[in-house]
């Protein structure tokens, strides 16, 4: 779907055309849902965020620039909703079942590089992301997974570009430290290239 | 080239994060009910009036109640087992009898007749020593 056709759908949806909005939903719902899931690591929470995000987007379509891509705008709503959900879940001390099951089965026995191809390091990265603060985690996810530029992330998070760069830098440092601490706990393996 | 495996370069980190996030979320799609709910809410805004709390909020509360109950059971179990162990290990001190001291009057000391005295020692010395110095003087 091109930017032009998206602009047409936005203007039709503004006039109350639900079918046009459904087309917009079909275009963006997967990315919004997956980003929310990456942030929350909770399928149910991600679905709630996705639902609320599109309801709010429909009601606020008048305020969005019809010529601009909806992606960053939808992500801005989704990240705010994810923050609210995360805050609420933290207050109620909810640990996603999926994560708990993964923790129980977590046993690192391979070298980091070898495990890169396995699920262990994937779990380690995802668990490391979960240990980051919300701000750093969101920037890392939007940058690496969403593929957004610094300026777009600054727009999504409503903060200066310098703040985004700083959060990304510290997020990467913390993530690297966590992954290396996992690596140091493993038996030393030397690779020959 | 040999290098330590647990050193993660920036490129490896970037790759690992991208790969992990992609793998974590691939094939994930929101359920079709999400659109049904969105559609119902945008077509009938009155639905939101009754939607004071998210339909999933009960899950958060139920989860915290269950977690609280599990914690309470664990704490009780640990407390009971500690108590049981403490009872098993308890050592009863034997009851010590009361000691009553009786003051007994001390009898006057009567030395036997052969108790040495300075006078007798002198006499014994004079008798036993052949070369008594006093005699030489």
Tell me whether A47 touches chain B (CB under 8 Å). Answer: yes
Better-predicted residue by pLDDT, A190 or B92: B92
Residues from chain B contacting residue A53 (CB–CB below 8 Å): none
Q: Which of A1-10, A96-105, A160-169 has the lowest mean pLDDT?
A: A96-105
A170 touches B: beta carbon within 8 Å: no
| Percentage of residues in chain A having pLDDT higher than 70 | 76
- Cβ separation of A144 and B38 shorter than 8 Å? no
Q: What is the 3-state secondary structure (H, E, C) of B25-91?
A: HCCCCCCHHHHHHHHHHHHCCHHHHCCCCCCCHHHHHHHHHHHHHHHHHHHHHHHHHHHHHHHHCCC
pTM over 0.80: no
Query: What mean pLDDT is predicted for residues B125-133?
Result: 66
Q: Which residue in B60, B65, B45 sits closest to A48, CA to CA? A: B60
Q: How confident is the model at residue B10 (pLDDT cuts 50, 70, 90)?
A: confident
Exposed e or buried b for every residue in A78-116, given b needs 16+ CB within 10 A?
Answer: bbbbbbebbeebeebebebeeeeeeeeeeebebbbbebb
Q: What are the tens digits of pLDDT across the range A159-188? A: 999 999 999 999 999 988 888 776 665 544
Q: Name every chain A residue with its beta carbon within 8 A of the beta carbon of B67.
A: 93-95
pLDDT (mean) for A39-52: 92
Task: Check if B38 contacts A (Cβ < 8 Å).
Answer: yes
Read off the pLDDT of each residue in B83-99 and give the average, rounded to a whole number. Answer: 70
The answer to which of A48-52, A140-144, A185-189, B111-115 has the lowest mean pLDDT is A185-189
Q: What class is the A1-94 domain? A: mainly alpha
Closest CA to A149 of A170, A138, A164: A164
DSSP H or E run through B23? helix B10-25
Please name the residues between 62 and 121 in chain A that touch chain B, using a CB distance below 8 Å: 88-89, 92-95, 111-114, 116, 119, 121
The answer to whether residues A179 and B8 touch, using CB atoms and an 8 Å cutoff, is yes
Contact between A116 and B3 using a beta-carbon 8 Å cutoff: no
- Over residues B74-103, the mean pLDDT reads 75
Q: What pLDDT is attached to residue A87?
A: 85
CATH of domain A106-193: 1.10.10.10
Q: Containing H/E element for B116?
A: none
ipTM of the complex: 0.75
Give me the residues paired with residue A192 across strands.
Answer: B2
CA geometry: angle B61, B21, A55, nearest 5 deg? 50
Domain assignments of chain A as residue spans, ordered by start: 1-94, 106-193
Provide, as residue numbers in chain B, all residues whose Cβ is less than 8 Å from the Cβ of A187. none
Q: A66 to chain B nearest CA, in Å?
A: 20
How much is the pLDDT for B115?
62
Chain B segment 68-127 residues within 8 A of A by beta carbon are none
Q: State yes or no: pLDDT of A117 exceeds 80.
A: no
- What's the average model confidence in pLDDT over A87-116? 52
Of B4, B29, B39, nearest to A190 by CB-CB distance is B4
> Which of A71-75, A91-95, A128-132 has the weakest average pLDDT?
A91-95
How big is chain B by its Cα radius of gyration, in Å?
Answer: 51
Q: What is the pLDDT of residue A86?
A: 87
Cα–Cα distance measured from residue B48 to residue B31, given in angstroms and rounded to the nearest whole number: 20
Instruction: Flag if B41 and A55 touch (Cβ within 8 Å).
Output: yes
Give A111-166 as a 3 state SS string.
Answer: CHHHHHCCHHHHHHHHHHHHHCCHHHHHHHHHHHHCCCCHHHHHHHHCCCHHHHHH
- Cα distances from A71 to residues A8, A42, A46, A68, A151, in angstroms, run 15, 22, 17, 9, 13
Interface test with A, best of B3, B5, B45 (most A CBs within 10 A): B5
pLDDT at B125: 77
Question: Which of B21, B43, B59 has its CB closest to that of A38?
Answer: B21
Q: Mean of the per-residue pLDDT values for chain B?
A: 75
pLDDT surpassing 90 at residue A77:
yes
Contact A145 B59 (CB under 8 A): no
Write the DSSP assignment of A54-88 as a string of letters. HHHHHHTGGGS-TTS-HHHHHHHHHHHHHHHHHHH
Task: Give the largest CA-CA distance in chain B.
Answer: 148
* Integer Cα distance of A8 and A2 in angstroms: 10
């Amino acid at each position: 779907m091109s930017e032009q056709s998206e602009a047409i759908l936005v203007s039709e949806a503004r006039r109350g055309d639900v079918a046009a909005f459904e087309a917009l939903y079909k275009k963006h719902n997967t990315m919004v849902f997956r980003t929310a899931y990456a942030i929350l690591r909770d399928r149910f929470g991600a679905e709630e965020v996705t639902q609320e995000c599109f309801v709010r987007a429909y009601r606020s379509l008048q305020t969005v620039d019809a010529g601009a891509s909806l992606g960053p705008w939808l992500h801005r709503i989704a990240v705010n909703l994810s923050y609210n959900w995360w805050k609420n879940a933290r207050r109620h001390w909810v640990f996603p079942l999926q994560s708990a099951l993964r923790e129980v089965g977590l046993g690192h026995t391979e070298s980091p590089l070898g495990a890169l191809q396995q699920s262990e390091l994937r779990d380690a990265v995802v668990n490391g992301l979960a240990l980051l603060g919300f701000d750093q985690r969101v920037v890392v996810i939007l940058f690496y997974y969403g593929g957004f530029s610094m300026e777009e992330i600054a727009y999504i998070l409503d903060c200066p570009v310098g703040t985004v760069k700083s959060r990304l830098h510290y997020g990467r440092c913390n993530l690297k430290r966590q992954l290396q601490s996992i690596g140091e706990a493993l038996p030393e393996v030397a690779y020959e290239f | 080239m040999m290098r330590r495996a647990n050193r993660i370069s920036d490129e490896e980190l970037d790759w690992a994060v991208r790969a992990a996030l992609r793998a974590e979320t691939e094939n994930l799609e929101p359920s079709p009910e999400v659109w049904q709910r969105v559609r119902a809410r945008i077509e009938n805004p009155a639905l939101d009036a009754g939607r004071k709390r998210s339909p999933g909020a009960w899950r958060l509360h139920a989860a915290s109640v269950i977690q609280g109950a599990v914690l309470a059971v664990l704490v009780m179990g640990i407390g009971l087992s500690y108590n049981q162990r403490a009872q098993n290990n308890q050592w009863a001190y034997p009851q010590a009898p009361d000691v009553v001291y009786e003051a007994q009057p001390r009898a006057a000391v009567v030395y036997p007749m052969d108790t040495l005295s300075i006078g007798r020692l002198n006499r014994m010395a004079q008798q036993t020593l052949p070369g008594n110095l006093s005699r030489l003087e």
